[in-house]
Structure formats: structure tokens, C-alpha cells
């Protein structure tokens, strides 16, 4: 059985819902996307989400009404997602129990980071990932290779956190750009430069863990697995 955190996304804009769902899946979460809050009570019981990404402007019951349902029937965290940028709306959501509030337009990488932060605060996702003798602690920003600290830049650390969350899976440059930098059409050479620098630092302390899969992307894994 998967230990990945479960995230329910309720967003009526199809393109936004698809993009958010894809970004969260790329970050290693189990995701369901729904266009409205019909039968939310039953969906909460079936899917048992650890967190709900909840749009405010929805057909039928709006996000504030659905927030009350989540709080009444579930222990899931809630990140509210809306085009409303008024302070009153933000305070209303937070006062009713939302854990965080993201205003559209937003960068997918920021939303994923906020979801991850809420899940960590709730104790719903492990903060430490291990690949061979490499340990990445997301909470303390500590990276160890064979027990030896590895000094990384802030960007290299974000990149390694993402690759560690996807350990064993091949991820493409576009996926990495979206998750780490928040861009889909940025220069892919940016990924190559930072992957090369990260690989070099990791290999100062042990054998290769960060592999290139020609034509597909990169994967963090112990060689031969």
C-alpha cells in the first residue's frame, strides 16, 4: 500500500485543475481532481484525503461552505485557492479553519511547496527521504552522503528535494522546471547546468546516484535498482 499523502483538488476551471493535479502527482502525491463539491461528504469518506486544495468560487456550494464540511467530517488540511485577493476573504477562510490561502494567478511550484508545508505541519508526510547512503531532510535543509554533510546552494537543494521525492522515477526537464523554478517554457539548459553541479557535489562523497536517462530525463536511484 502506498504511503504517499492523498490530496483532493476541488477546482471548477478544468485547465487549472489539471495543471494542479499534474504538479502534485509529479511531487509524489496521490491526487483526485473534482470540478465541484457535490457529494463531498462521500468523497471524503472514500478517498480519505490528507489535504484538500479548495477553490472558493465554485458552482453550487462555494469553497467556504465546503470548508465547513471538511472541518466537520475530516481531519484533512485545507489550502484555499481563489482569484479573490481581498484581505477579508483571506481572513474569512483562515478564521474558518483553512491552513493556508493561495491567490490566483499563482506559480505551481509555490502551491506545491505550500501543500507540502501544510502536510509536514500536520505530520502527514515524511520530511526525510533516503536513497542509498544519501539522506535529504526537507525540514532542516540538511543533506548527508554517507554521514558527511553536503553543502548545496538553495536552488540545488530545491532540485534535490524534488528528485528525492521522485526517487526511482524518471522525470523530464519540463517537470523539473515546473516543480523547481515554476516555469514550463524556460531554457532547459538551466536544468542541465544545475543537475551537473548537483551530481558533481554528490559524487564527491560516493558513487553516482543521479542518472541521466537519454531522451527522457533524470532519475535519483542506487545504480542497478
Cis check for the bond before 105: say yes or no (omega within 30 of 0). Answer: yes
pTM, 2 dp: 0.64
Confidence at residue 18, expressed as pLDDT on a 0 to 100 scale: 94
For the segment 27-53, what is each residue's pLDDT rounded down to a tens digit? Answer: 778 899 999 999 999 999 999 999 999
Distance CA 129, CA 115 (A): 17
Q: Is residue 218 scored above 90 in pLDDT?
A: yes
* Angle ∠(84,125,177) on CA atoms, nearest 5: 60
28: nearest Cα among 161, 194, 122: 161
* Mean pLDDT across the chain: 87
pLDDT class for 80, splitting at 50, 70, 90?
very high
For the segment 152-199, what is each residue's pLDDT rounded down to a tens digit? Answer: 999 999 899 889 888 888 989 988 888 888 766 667 788 999 999 999
Distance CA 153, CA 157 (A): 6
Please, are residues 36 and 144 in contact by the beta-carbon 8 Å criterion?
no
Amino acid at each position: 500500500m502506498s504511503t504517499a499523502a492523498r490530496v483532493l483538488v476541488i477546482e471548477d476551471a478544468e485547465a487549472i485543475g489539471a495543471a494542479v493535479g499534474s504538479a502534485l502527482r509529479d511531487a509524489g502525491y496521490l491526487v483526485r481532481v473534482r470540478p465541484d463539491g457535490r457529494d463531498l461528504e462521500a468523497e471524503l469518506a472514500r478517498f480519505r484525503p490528507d489535504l484538500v486544495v479548495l477553490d472558493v468560487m465554485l458552482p453550487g456550494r462555494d469553497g467556504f461552505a465546503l470548508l465547513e464540511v471538511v472541518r466537520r467530517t475530516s481531519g484533512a488540511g485545507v489550502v484555499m485557492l481563489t482569484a479573490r485577493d481581498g484581505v477579508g476573504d483571506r481572513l474569512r477562510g483562515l478564521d474558518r479553519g483553512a491552513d493556508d490561502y493561495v491567490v490566483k494567478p499563482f506559480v505551481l511550484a509555490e502551491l506545491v511547496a505550500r501543500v507540502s508545508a501544510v502536510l509536514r505541519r500536520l505530520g502527514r508526510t515524511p520530511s526525510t527521504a533516503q536513497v542509498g547512503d544519501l539522506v535529504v531532510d526537507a525540514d532542516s535543509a540538511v543533506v548527508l552522503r554517507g554521514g558527511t554533510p553536503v553543502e548545496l546552494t538553495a536552488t540545488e537543494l530545491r532540485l534535490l528535494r524534488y528528485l528525492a521525492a521522485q526517487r526511482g522515477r524518471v522525470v523530464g526537464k519540463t517537470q523539473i522546471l515546473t516543480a523547481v523554478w515554476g516555469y514550463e517554457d524556460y531554457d532547459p539548459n538551466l536544468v542541465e547546468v544545475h543537475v551537473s553541479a548537483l551530481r558533481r557535489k554528490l559524487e564527491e562523497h560516493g558513487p553516482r546516484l543521479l542518472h541521466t536517462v537519454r531522451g527522457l530525463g533524470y532519475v535519483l536511484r542506487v545504480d542497478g535498482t
